[in-house]
Each structure stands twice: as structure tokens, then as C-alpha cells.
Amino acid sequence: MSALPPRDLKAEVAKHFKGTPESRVRDALRLGDEALDAFLRALPPGTTREEAREILSRNKNCGRTPSKLMEASRR
């Protein structure tokens, strides 16, 4: 098995932090818009962009809800 080359921390960090903070925010917003557009294309015709955004938001935030039984036992 060959040995891996030594890792350079500055090179590793540079991979993730290219550009200015403003450009990274701009890129993140652009990617979010592109993802929303792709999701909207998968929905039935006539679905508005706002409806698609609400569906995505609801899907993103639908985690597990605490058990009422467990909550009652803690009191």
C-alpha cells in the first residue's frame, strides 16, 4: 500500500473558501434558485414558484416530532 502525501491545511481550507464572502453568498443563492427551478419543473404544470418554495420549506422542516408520551413521563 502506498503512503499518502502529507496534507496541507492551507490547501484544504482554500478548497472550501474560494472567493469573497459576497461571492460565496451570491453563489449559494444562485444554487438555491437553480434547485428551486429544478423542483418546480418536477411539479404539475401551473404550480407557482411560491407554492414550490412553500413545499420545499415544509419538506425541509418535517423532522421528527417529540413523543407526547415521553414528554409526559419527564414531568
Asked if pLDDT for residue 64 goes beyond 80, the answer is no
CA distance 8 to 34: 33
Residue 53 has what pLDDT? 94
**How far apart are alpha carbons 16 and 24 in whole angstroms?**
10
User: Mean pLDDT across the chain, nearest whole number?
Assistant: 86
Residue 42 pLDDT greater than 90, yes or no = yes
Quick check: 56 and 39 in contact, CB under 8 A? yes
DSSP string spanning the chain?
-PPPPPP-HHHHHHHH--S-HHHHHHHHHHHHHHHHHHHHHHSPTT--HHHHHHHHHHHHT--PPPPHHHHHHT-
